[in-house]
Amino acid sequence: MLLRVLLFLAILAPASAFAQEPAPLYQWTQYASAGLEARAIMDGGRPCPALALDGGASPMRVRSTPGPGYPITVCAAAIPASATSASIAGKPLPLPKKRANRVLLIGDTGCRLTRQEIQNCNDDSAWPVPKGSAVEAGLAPDVVIHVGDFHYREAACPIANKGCEGSPFGDNWAVWKADFFEPARPLLERAPFVFTRGNHETCDRGGKGWSRTLDPYPDVSDTGCLDLGAPFVADIGGQKVVVMDVSTAAELSANAAQVAYFRKQFQDIGRLVPDGPVWLAFHRPIWAVGLGVFGFIIGDNKTLEQAARNDMPPNVELLLSGHIHTYQILGYQEDLPIQIVSGHGGDDLHRTAPSNPVGTVIGGVTVASGRGTPGVFGFAMLEREDGGWRATDYDIAARALMACHLRGRKLACD
């Protein structure tokens, strides 16, 4: 009898040891340039925990140590494709499905605080991200694709402004926690993420926090900010997604050096995924229709237009982006991928974007089909259906606003 008890305790010992480790402030899984990773954020100088994989232990490496404005340690560890279970300190991590059937699209989720524009971060109706994340997690997505712009609190809240009173600002952990990690907790615990870098995560804005925590490329120094990385492939479960960093792509006029740089990246997609349908995920859209100030079309990125126009591989069927603060889905007369703009997650909305973009000519490309839902906070869901995908736009309370059907590069909306 004593031997049986000892054997039972020995079996329980590893699990107990994992559970007794300091719990991370946040933990999640994400697709990185080298494959799927587990990441964890530890308070202060606490050591990285062990990653439990299928009952065994695997050490997590330190990605960044505490530094100015960032009193946290960020840890990372690879998760092999064969893993069937993973946890940190006894808490399970979400793992990919072999076949992803429900793909959630969110973007532009931070709360805007600048010298010129103040958003009421404390008001769910003005900044609905905390409420929306819980709703989105309840829809049980298999994977989440965030198309960029997490960090928006760049200036102090004005004195006596109750709408944003108490809000942090700047490129620091307090802002990253308030703008993304705390409101996104339900989603981080629900599904693996694909993260794309937005223009708010460049090195002169929120880039230090991005590089420490979410950047999908190799480790960064504690005080540094990573430059643009090369495209990489995320297999989200029967669907290949190529992730590109276009955060610095010049918008209003083409930058010749950037055109050459990004053209090479578009050409390389055929090498990364030579066969089968491909989605591209990047922040700044191409050939999108969002009317901005002084008649400029926000989203008509001149640099990316020139880089992609004649070098978009034929197996790319879908572009996923944000940047314009609305929802938009566009099919073109030309043989180009369908584009979805899902930038209506939480930042101040672009209410002048058209609801019917059909017939619009952007950079020599004509919109043949599509819809938009300006002025409504929300998210999008891509769901498999026979022969393709169904894309549904939802408001923040998960009420369906519109749906379209994607078959290769062909788009038909209800």
| Per-residue model confidence as pLDDT tens digits over 351-376 | 888 899 999 999 899 999 999 999 99
| Per-residue model confidence as pLDDT tens digits over 14-50 | 444 444 678 999 999 999 999 999 999 999 889 999 9
The domains located in the chain, with CATH, are 2-68+81-92 (no CATH), 102-413 (3.60.21.10)
Distance CA 68, CA 170 (A): 12
* Residue 294 pLDDT greater than 70, yes or no: no
- The per-residue pLDDT for 309 is 87
pTM, full prediction: 0.94
* Residue 222 pLDDT greater than 80, yes or no: no
**In degrees, to the nearest 5, what angle opens at C-alpha 289 toward C-alphas 296 and 313?**
115
- The per-residue pLDDT for 223 is 62
* Residue 175 pLDDT greater than 50, yes or no: yes
Q: How does residue 301 score in pLDDT terms, banded at 50, 70 and 90? A: very high
